[in-house]
Structure 1
Amino acid sequence: MNSSAVDIKQWIDGRSVTPYQWLILLLCFLIVTFDGLDAAIMGFIAPAVIQDWNISRTAFGPIMAAAMVGLAVGALVSGPYSDRFGRRRVLLLSVAAFGIFSALSAVASSPMELAALRFLTGLGLGAAMPNSTTLLSEYIPQRLRGLLITLMFMGFGLGSASGGFISAWMVPQLGWHAVLLLGGVLPLLLLPVLYFLLPESVDLMINRGFPRPRIMSVLRRMGGSFPDSVVFATTAAITQKTGNKVRRLFDPQYRGRTLSLWCTYFMGLVVIYLLTGWMPTLIKDAGVSLERAAIITAMFQFGGLLGIVLVGAAMDRFNPKAIIALAYISGALCIFALGFVEVGTTALGALVFAAGFCINGAQTGLNAFAPGQYPTDFRATGVSWMLGIGRTGGILASMSGGALLSLGLPMNVIFAVLGIPAVLAAISIMAGPKATPGQLNAQPGH
C-alpha cells in the first residue's frame, strides 16, 4: 500500500480508544439494555397475565413464543438490509419499532392481540442486537474486541435483570400493563439521542463510496487528521466477490464456521429462554411468592453481568472457543445442581447466579466472537443470521416450556433436561474452525 493510502481497520487497531468510540459503545449499550428489558418482560409478567386472563400456561406459550418468532424474522431480514443500506438506518428503525409496539402491547385486550403485538415488537428487537454488535465491532481495536463487545452486552443482562425487579414492584402496584408500557417508552426516549449521535460504520461508508466529507467527519471525532491526498481503504475487511449475502455464508471457507455458530447459538438460547421465561412460574408453583420468584430469576441475569466481562476478557487472552465451551459446560453443571436445592433458599439464588454467570458469559462471548468470522461486506448478514437461526431455539423453549412444566416432573429431572442443551452448545462451538487467542477478528479468507 503506498504512502497516500490508509487502511482504516489497521488505523483503528493501532490507536487507543477515543472518547468518541466510548460514546458509540455507550449508545450501543443503551440499545441492548432496552432490548434486554423488552425481551425478558413477558417471562416476569407471565404469572400475572395468566391469572388476570384466566388462561393455562400452555395457552400462554404462543404469547411467549410470538416475540421469539419476531426476533428471528427481524434478525434474518435486517442483516442483508444493513449490509446494503447501512447499520445506522436499520438500528434507528429497529429501536422505533420495538418501542412503539411494546407500548401498544400494554393496551392489548386478548391473548391473540397481545401475541400479534409481541410479534411486531420482536421484529424490532431482532434487528437491534446484531446491528449494534456489527457497528460496534467495526469501531473498536481488535485487541479489545472481546472485552468491549461483551461490555456492550452487559446492557442486555442489565435490562433483563432489571425487568425482574421492575416487575416485582410495578405488577402489584400498577398491573402488568404498566411494565409493557415502560418497556416501550424508554427506547422511544432514546431514539432522538441516537438520531443525532450514532454514526454509520466507517468501514461500510468507505466500502460503499460515501462522500468523503461524511467519512472525514467521523474520523476527526476519533482524532484523525488526514490530507486531501489520502485515499481510505478497508482491504483487510472486504472480499472481492459480489452476490447474495446469505449464500456467501456457505462459501467453502465460511460454511463450517456458519454451521458451528448457528448450532451453538440455538442451543444457548434454548437454555436461556427456558430458564428466564419459565423459572418464575416454576418457582411460584413451588409455593414462593411472585415477587420473590421474579427476584430469584433476575439473579440469572445479574450473574451474567459479571460473567460477560470475565469471559470477554479471557477471550482476548486465551483460545476464545475453548473459553466459550468451558463456560457452557460449567453452566450445565450449575443448572443440573438447581434440582437438588430447596426452592426459595439462598442456595437456589446462588446457583441461579452462577448459572447466569456461565451461560450468559458464554452466549455473549459468542456474540463477540461472531463478527470477526466474516468480512465487512456481509458481516451484518453473518451475525444477524446466527442470531435469527439461533432464535428458533428461543421459540422452541417458549413454546415447550409450558408443556414441560405441565408434565408434573420432579424439579431435579426438569433441571437435568435444561442442562443438556448447554452441553450440546459446548460441543457445537468446539466443532467449528480453529481459533487462537485474540482471534476475534480473524478476517477469514485474507
Structure 2
Amino acid sequence: MGAPAVPADPGPTRRARRRRPRGGDRDPALRRPDRDLPRGPREPRSGGRAPAWPDRGRSPGPADRRAGDPGRDLGDAGPVAPGAGPVPPPAPPHPGAGLRRADRPARRPRRRRGRRALHRPGHDGDREAGRGGPRERRGGSVSPDDPAASGSGASPDEGRDLHPPAYRRKLLVLLSAATFFEGYDTFVLSFVLAIVLGDLGGSEAQAGWVRAIVGVGTVVAFTLAAQADRIGRKRLLLITIAGYAISAFLTALSPNLPFLAAAQFLAQVFLGAEWAVAITIVVEDFPSRERGRTLGIVTSMNTLGGIFVGVLAFAGLQSTPLSWRAFYLVNLIPLALIAIGRRGMLETERYAALSQDPASAHLDHANVWEPWRPPYRRMVLAVGLLTFFRHAAVAAGAFWWAYYAQQEVGMSVSLSGLYLAAAGVLGAAGFIIGGHLMDRFGRIPVFQLYMAGTLLLGTWLFQVHDPAQMLPVLCLAIFFGLGSVAMTSAFSTELFPTYVRSRAAAWCRNAFEVPGAIVAPLVVGILGDHVTGPLGSIGDAMSLTNLALIPPAMFIAWRYLPESRGTDLVRMDAQAVATA
C-alpha cells in the first residue's frame, strides 16, 4: 500500500499576495526581475507575467533565497506532490543576480505618493505662480536657449531662498532705516521752518525759494539713482546713506539760509537715489512670495519718519540749546548703519548673476536713455504717467489738508496736528496690509482697490465740515492714498530687466512722480484761492483734482500694465540678453 497522497500546496492566496511587503522590505530574491533593472525603454514581453514563485508545487525554501547561484535546480529541493502538474522552469537570472548591493545596476527611485512637501528649498519663489524650480546655479544665468527662458518649459525660480532669513531680516532693517530718514527729512524742514527763519533771518518769500531749491534736488537725484545699474546696488546704497548723513550734518552747521538751502539740496539728491535703490534691492533680493509684504514695510517707513518728527517736537527737542539744529543731528544715526551694512551686506543676487554672465557684456549699463529703447519705452511711459497722476492727487491732498481743516472747517492747529498724527499711524498700516494683499491677489487688483478708496474718501474728505466726522474719513483716506505707494513701487521695478531696472525706476519716480507733487498743489492753490480763484474754495478744488487725476491712473493700470505678481526675473534677464 503506497504512501498517502500529499495535497498540493495551493501557494499564497490572493489576499496574502497583496499583503506581501513592497519595495525595500521585500526579499531581493523574490522581487520581479524587471524591477531590479535600470529604468529605460522596456522591451515587449514575449510571454505572460513571470510566476511569483519558481515552483508552484511547494513553498520557497532558504536555498531558493540564496544569492549568487541563479542556476540552482529548484526541483531538487524536495518531493513534488502527485497531480500537482508540470513544474514551470525557473525565472531567468537578471543582471544584478550574484552581485553585491554596491555593484548592482542603479535603480531609479520610486516616485513618492501622497501629500506634497509644503516647502522645498529652492522651489518656493514661483510655486505660487505655477512655475517649476530653479534652472540655474547660484551666481549663474539662464541661457536664452534654455526652455525656461523661452517659455516652453518650467520657469526658473528666481525667488529661491539664496540668502538665509537672518540675512534678509538684517537687510530689511537697513532698507527700512534708509526710507525712514527719507520721510523724516522731507517733513522736518517744513516743521522747523519758522524757527529757522527766526534764527538765521529771512522772509517768507526767501523761505519759498529755499523750498523750491530743495525740491529740485529730488529731481536731480535721478542722475545718481541711475548709476545703480553701473556700479551696483550695494555700493550706491552705502554712498547715498553716507552722503545724506554728511549733508544733514552740514545743515545743522548752517550759518545762513543760502548755506542751508545748498546742504538740503544735496540731502535730497542722496535721499531720492536712496529710495530708488532700496526699492530695487527689495525686488531683487527677496523671494517673490515676500516681495509685496517687504515693499509694504519699506515704503511705510517713509510715513513713520514724518510721524517721528512730530514725536520729537512733542518731546521738546526744539527747546534744547541746539534748537532746530538738533533735528538734523539725529540724522547722524545712518552713519552707524553704514558700519553694519558694509561688513555684512551682499550685492543683490540678480545683479551679481548678470554681471558674471559673459552674454550680458554687450548690454548698456550706463546710458540713462536706455529705458526709452523700443522694448521698454511703452512700459516706462505707462508706469510714469500712472505714478504722476496718483502722486499728484495724493501730494496735493497732503499739502492742503491742514489749511482746509483750519481755514474752512474751523479746527485748531493743535487738533489738526493730533488728527494728522493719528491718521499717519493708520496710513502706515495701509502700506503693510497692501503689501500682504499684493502677494495674495496681485498688484493690479489691489491697486485698483486702493485707488477706488482714494477717489471716494479723498473727494469726501474735502467736503466734510464736521470735525467729529473728519477723523475717520481722514484715517481711511490716508490708508488708501499713501498705501498705494507699495503698488507703484512694484510697477516701477518688477516690470523691467535687471540691467536697466534702476534707471527705469529713477525715470518713473524722479521724472514723473516728483513733478506731479510740484504741479498739483500749485493748481489747487490757483483754483481754490478765496480771492482770485475760479472756485474760491480749497475743498472744492481738491475734490475736483481727485476726480480729474485718479480715474486716468486706474485706466492706465487696467489697460496697459501686465500683472507683475510672481514675475520671473531670471527669464526676463535671459530675454533681455537674447534680444539686446
Bucket of the pairwise TM-score, normalised by the shorter protein: 0.7 to 0.9
1:284–1:99 CA distance, 2 compared to 1 (3 A): farther
Partner Cα distance (2:518, 2:166) in 1 = 39
Partner Cα distance (1:234, 1:304) in 2 = 45
| Alignment check: 8 A CA contact 1:86 1:200 kept | yes
C-alpha distance after superposition, 1:213-244 (max 9, x if no partner): xxxxxxxxxxxxxxxxxxxx699xx6964365
1:330 aligns with 2:453: yes
Match of 1:348 in 2: 470
1:430 aligns with 2:558: yes
Match of 1:251 in 2: 373
C-alpha distance after superposition, 1:61-105 (max 9, x if no partner): 43333332211211x112331111111221112112222223333
AA at the equivalent of 2:455: A
1:176–1:395 CA distance, 2 compared to 1 (3 A): farther
C-alpha distance after superposition, 1:263-305 (max 9, x if no partner): 1222233233333344445545565444443333334532321
* Corresponding residue SS for 2:324: helix
Match of 1:99 in 2: 245
Q: How does 1:284-295 map to 2 (within 5 A)?
A: 284-285=406-407, 288-295=411-418
Partner Cα distance (1:24, 1:339) in 2 = 40
* Corresponding residue SS for 2:484: helix
Match of 1:21 in 2: 168
| Alignment check: 8 A CA contact 1:146 1:315 kept | yes
Partner Cα distance (1:30, 1:2) in 2 = 32
1:5–1:339 CA distance, 2 compared to 1 (3 A): closer
**Shift of the alpha carbon at 1:54?**
7.0
Partner Cα distance (2:273, 2:260) in 1 = 20
Once the two structures are aligned, what percentage of the paired residues are identical?
Answer: 20
The worse-fitting range, judged by mean Cα deviation, of 276-285 and 116-125 is 276-285
Partner Cα distance (1:45, 1:177) in 2 = 6
1:265–1:4 CA distance, 2 compared to 1 (3 A): closer
Q: How does 1:267-416 map to 2 (within 5 A)?
A: 267-285=389-407, 288-342=411-465, 345-389=467-511, 390-397=513-520, 407=530, 409-416=536-543
Partner Cα distance (2:327, 2:520) in 1 = 21
1:426–1:445 CA distance, 2 compared to 1 (3 A): farther
Partner Cα distance (1:405, 1:189) in 2 = 46
Match of 1:70 in 2: 217
1:266–1:301 CA distance, 2 compared to 1 (3 A): farther
What is the RMSD computed on CA atoms of the aligned residues? 3.5
1:444–1:7 CA distance, 2 compared to 1 (3 A): closer
1:25–1:190 CA distance, 2 compared to 1 (3 A): same
AA at the equivalent of 1:311: G
Partner Cα distance (2:525, 2:195) in 1 = 15
Partner Cα distance (1:337, 1:84) in 2 = 46
Match of 2:341 in 1: 194
Match of 2:354 among 202, 207, 214: 207
AA at the equivalent of 2:374: P
Q: How does 1:141-220 map to 2 (within 5 A)?
A: 141-170=287-316, 173-174=319-320, 177-178=324-325, 180-209=327-356
1:79 aligns with 2:225: yes
The worse-fitting range, judged by mean Cα deviation, of 387-396 and 254-263 is 387-396
Partner Cα distance (1:51, 1:405) in 2 = 30
1:336–1:324 CA distance, 2 compared to 1 (3 A): same
C-alpha distance after superposition, 1:43-64 (max 9, x if no partner): 43456557876744x6644333
AA at the equivalent of 2:387: Y
| Alignment check: 8 A CA contact 1:206 1:234 kept | no
1:31–1:4 CA distance, 2 compared to 1 (3 A): closer
Match of 1:114 among 243, 260, 267: 260
User: Which structure's CA Rg is the greater one?
Assistant: 2
| Alignment check: 8 A CA contact 2:395 2:517 kept | yes
C-alpha distance after superposition, 1:301-330 (max 9, x if no partner): 323211112222222232412321331231
* Corresponding residue SS for 1:246: coil
1:393–1:114 CA distance, 2 compared to 1 (3 A): farther
Tell me: higher relative CO, structure 1 or 2? Use CA pairs within 8 A at least 6 residues apart.
1
TM-score, length of structure 1 as denominator length: 0.81
| Alignment check: 8 A CA contact 1:375 1:444 kept | yes
The worse-fitting range, judged by mean Cα deviation, of 356-365 and 175-184 is 175-184
AA at the equivalent of 1:375: P
Partner Cα distance (1:336, 1:3) in 2 = 49
* Corresponding residue SS for 1:374: coil
Partner Cα distance (2:523, 2:198) in 1 = 20
AA at the equivalent of 2:220: V
Match of 2:235 in 1: 89
C-alpha distance after superposition, 1:319-356 (max 9, x if no partner): 4123213312311221211223236x343232222111
1:421 aligns with 2:549: yes
Gaps of 5+ in 1: 210-232
1:180–1:377 CA distance, 2 compared to 1 (3 A): same
TM-score, length of structure 2 as denominator length: 0.64
Match of 2:76 in 1: none
* Corresponding residue SS for 1:129: helix
| Alignment check: 8 A CA contact 1:374 1:382 kept | yes
The worse-fitting range, judged by mean Cα deviation, of 92-101 and 296-305 is 296-305
Partner Cα distance (1:64, 1:270) in 2 = 18
| Alignment check: 8 A CA contact 1:63 1:111 kept | yes
Gaps of 5+ in 2: 1-132, 142-155, 576-580
**Shift of the alpha carbon at 1:168?**
4.3
| Alignment check: 8 A CA contact 2:292 2:439 kept | yes
**Shift of the alpha carbon at 1:121?**
1.3
Match of 2:382 in 1: 260
